[in-house]
Amino acid sequence: MSTTPLPGLVLRGIQAPLPLADFKLIAFDMDSTLINIECIDEIADAVGKKAEVAAITEATMRGEIADFRESLRRRVALLEGVPVEALQQVYDQRLQLNPGADILVAACKAAGMKVLLVSGGFTFFANRVKDRLGIDFARSNLLDERGGKLTGRIVEQSWGAICDGAEKRRTLIEVASLMGISPQQAIAVGDGANDLPMMGEAGLSVAYHAKPKVREQAKVSIEEGGLDRLLEVLA
């Protein structure tokens, strides 16, 4: 059952307003959620492979390719030979925060919440977005490079090789545990199929201009306007 108290904002199984004080942690996906682009697609543009990579990205986010790890490896392999400076060009020229991202993050921090960025994208962008928004913690994938060029591989980090849906879920649970809270005291915001595991664990799941499969399962679906529309649901 769904209700629509305001145009472009769909609630399922909940009644607004929800007390903001009930939540201590908010976890965001990055690409197409906090920011306006899929970074991997824009990097691929540097070697004329954007269409090929973007098609795989779209199918993965829609849930049509179930194995995110294999999908990511396939796409990253196509980036072999891309100059590392292309990442900075993508950040400077193409990456923008999605509307309301700064407002929502600032409101959550003002309420005493911790803010987590957990992304199937890359540390080059995640760390910059983290610093830009004052986010507390970020986890994402690390692109391998050699001689100033990408190798087409992903570097294994202390927590594992690839931040996929399962790792997003695990990270949310881990951070909640370290904070001494239940995952039910967390909010998870995303747009793609690989966000569903963490969204399913959180007390409040939020879809932002999301793929149909994600909209259908989220408790809140923001279908018009910016991320700060979530504040219409919280009090």
Q: Name beta bridge partners: 234.
A: 18
Q: What is the pLDDT of residue 16?
A: 87
Active site residue 144: no
* Cα separation values, 96 from 47, 93, 128, Å: 22, 9, 12
Q: What is the pTM of this model?
A: 0.95
Whole-number pLDDT of residue 36: 98
Cβ-contact 36, 99 below 8 angstroms: no
Question: What integer is the mean pLDDT of 31-59?
Answer: 95
Mean predicted lDDT score pLDDT of the chain: 95
Whether 212 and 194 have beta carbons less than 8 Å apart is answered as no
Domain ranges of the chain: 2-36+97-232
pLDDT tens digits for range 93-136: 999 999 999 999 999 999 999 999 999 999 999 999 999 999 99
Contacts of residue 41, defined as CB under 8 A and 6 or more positions apart, other chains included, come to 50, 53, 54, 57
* Residue 9 identity: L
Superfamily covering domain 2-36+97-232? HAD superfamily/HAD-like (3.40.50.1000)
The three-class DSSP label of residue 21 is: helix
Token pair for 124? 């080059």
The active-site residue, picked from 29, 41, 164, 195, is: 29
Q: Is the peptide bond before 17 cis (omega within 30 degrees of 0)?
A: yes
Q: What is the mean pLDDT of residues 197-224?
A: 97
Confidence of residue 46 (pLDDT cuts 50, 70, 90): confident
pLDDT at residue number 2: 44
- The band of 66, judged by pLDDT with boundaries at 50, 70 and 90, is confident
pLDDT band at 1 (very low <50, low <70, confident <90, very high): very low
Q: Report pLDDT for 6.
A: 79
What percent of the chain lies above the pLDDT cut of 90? Answer: 94
Q: At 59, is the secondary structure helix, strand, or coil?
A: helix
Contact indicator for 200, 184 with CB cutoff of 8 Å: no
Q: Does residue 3 have a pLDDT over 70?
A: no
Active site (annotated) includes residue 22: no
Position 125 scores a pLDDT of 98
Tens of pLDDT, residue by residue over 175-187, are 999 999 999 999 9
Could you say which of 22, 31, 92, 191 is catalytic? 31
For the chain, the farthest-separated pair of C-alpha atoms sits apart, in whole angstroms, at 55
